[in-house]
A and B are shown apart, each in its own frame.
Chain A
Amino acid sequence: NAGVTQTPKFQVLKTGQSMTLQCAQDMNHEYMSWYRQDPGMGLRLIHYSVGAGITDQGEVPNGYNVSRSTTEDFPLRLLSAAPSQTSVYFCASSYLPGTGQYEQYFGPGTRLTVT
């Protein structure tokens, strides 16, 4: 049971490049989400999904796309990277159907630098 995994751990992009941050969970959780963490700003929700095929915007969705084709995977796509997207990105999952438990489990994070 690996929990929530994220790849890559570190990434450097040039302005305008695109890339996908990978996230996978093996806990059969229904809910998955992406956050970015910046100094003094806390964790801010980018996009989330309440199940396969269902996604919605969070607090700071601009410049990011997501899809949820399977329960396990929830990739985050940066369409055209900008220096303002330099941040640490965390994927999280929660809610095993039928348990009533909504605690979130986080991945180890991806540190992204856009130059």
Chain B
Amino acid sequence: TQLLEQSPQFLSIQEGENLTVYCNSSSVFSSLQWYRQEPGEGPVLLVTVVTGGEVKKLKRLTFQFGDARKDSSLHITAAQPGDTGLYLCAGRYSGGSNYKLTFGKGTLLTVNP
């Protein structure tokens, strides 16, 4: 079974602070996705990264894919209460199905006003 480790599991910060969430595996990804899930709703896709070393920005969110395609990070600058939610990374492994995603357990972020 291929595992996808996310850290930290919980994160509580004040509005305006910066934070980074990590997603790691011992296996190589063909692609990796980040989702955000709000209470009572399904996960919503934020970004897909495909190329080793790739960096994508979505407003105050910066996503980075490791050079070896085994890890990824999500950095949020000047966090706001609206960023509160569960952040999930999910990957497709090289040599695996194009369809099947393996999910990390998520990072529950709380941004306090």
Contacts and interface: CB of A to CB of B under 8 A. Distances in A.
Contacts of B43: 43, 90, 106
Interface in B51-106: 88, 90, 92, 98-101, 103-106
Nearest to A44: B103
A109 B40 contact: yes
Contacts, number: 53
B31 A102 contact: yes
B41 A109 contact: yes
Interface residues of A, number: 26
Q: How large is the interface on B (under 10, 10 to 19, 20 to 34, 35 or more residues)?
A: 20 to 34
Interface string B20-50: 0000000000010101000011111100100
Contact of A102 (B88, B99, B103): B99
A90 B37 CA distance: 12
A58 B90 CA distance: 15
B92 A102 contact: yes
Nearest to B43: A106
Interface string A21-56: 000000000010101000011111100101000000
Interface string A88-115: 0010101100000011111111000000
Majority-rule SS of A interface residues: strand
B99 A43 contact: no
A40 B99 contact: no
Given A41-B105, A42-B104, A42-B105, A50 B99 contact: yes
A115 B88 CA distance: 30
A36 B37 CA distance: 14
A95 B88 contact: no
Interface of A: 4, 31, 33, 35, 40-45, 48, 50, 58-59, 90, 92, 94-95, 102-109
Given A102-B31, A103-B33, 15 more contacts: A33-B99, A35-B103, A40-B105, A41-B105, A42-B104, A43-B88, A45-B101, A90-B42, A95-B98, A102-B92, A102-B98, A104-B45, A106-B35, A106-B43, A108-B40
